[in-house]
Amino acid sequence: MGLPDWKRSAVGWSRDNATRMTAGPGVQEAAPSEGVDADELSIPQSVIDAASARERAAMVQKVQEARLQVTEIFTSRFQDLVTAGRVSEYPALVDRFKPKFAACQSSLERIAASLSSEPVVAGLVGKVAREESKRLGMQLELQVQEQHLSLLGLDDPDQPELKQAVIAKRKALKECTDGIYELLEELRCEAADIED
C-alpha cells in the first residue's frame, strides 16, 4: 500500500495542492496565489490516530514544511502591500492567513496530545507549537513596525527610535526561529529512538 496523500505533500495533506499552488501555461490569475486553504493544512485526526508514534513525530516535520511555505507566501504578500503603498489592506491579509497558521498550530497540538506514550517527544512537539505561536506574534508585530517605519520620513524625529525597535524585533525573531530549529533537530533525534 502506498503512502497516504498527506504524507507525500509538504504543502498540505492532499495530492491536488501542488497543482493549486501555480497556474498552468496560458492561465492568468487575477491575484497572486495565497497557497492552499486552511482545511488542507490541517492533518485529519483520523490520520493522526492511525499513525505510529514514529510517524506522528515525522508529521511534525511535514507541518513545519507547510507552515514555512505559508509564512513565505504571507511575507511575500505583505511586501507586495508595502511596496504598493496599500498598508490599509494589511488587516485583511492577516485575517486571510490566520486560519492557515491556526490549522498548522492545531495539527501540532493534536500530534503532541496523541504522543502520551512518548512523553519526551510529546513535550518537544508541545514546545515547538508554543514557540511557533510566539514566533507568529513576533512576526506580526515586526510587520506593523516595518509599516510604520516605511511611512516615516528620514527627517522624522521618531525614525531612529523606530528603526532600532525594528532591528531589535528582527533579532528576537531570528533567535526564536533558531530555537525552533534546535527543537526540531532534538525532536528528530528523539524520534529516531522511538520503537514502533
Residue 151 lies in a domain: yes
Residue 132 lies in a domain: yes
Residue 155 lies in a domain: yes
Residue 1 lies in a domain: no
Nearest to 161 by CA among 54, 69, 169, 65: 169
Residue 165 lies in a domain: yes
CA distance 98 to 9: 21
Domain count, the chain: 1
CA distance 86 to 193: 50
> What is the grid cell recorded at 180?
525552533
pLDDT at 14: 38
CA distance 29 to 36: 15
| Segment-wise mean pLDDT, segments of 10 residues, the chain, 196 residues | 39 36 42 85 96 94 95 95 89 96 97 94 96 97 91 84 96 97 95 82
pLDDT at 21: 35
Residue 114 lies in a domain: yes
Residue 55 lies in a domain: yes
Q: Look up the domain containing 173 and give its range.
A: 35-192
Residue 86 lies in a domain: yes
pLDDT at 175: 98
Grid cell 498598508 — which residue?
A: 87
The structure's pTM equals 0.81
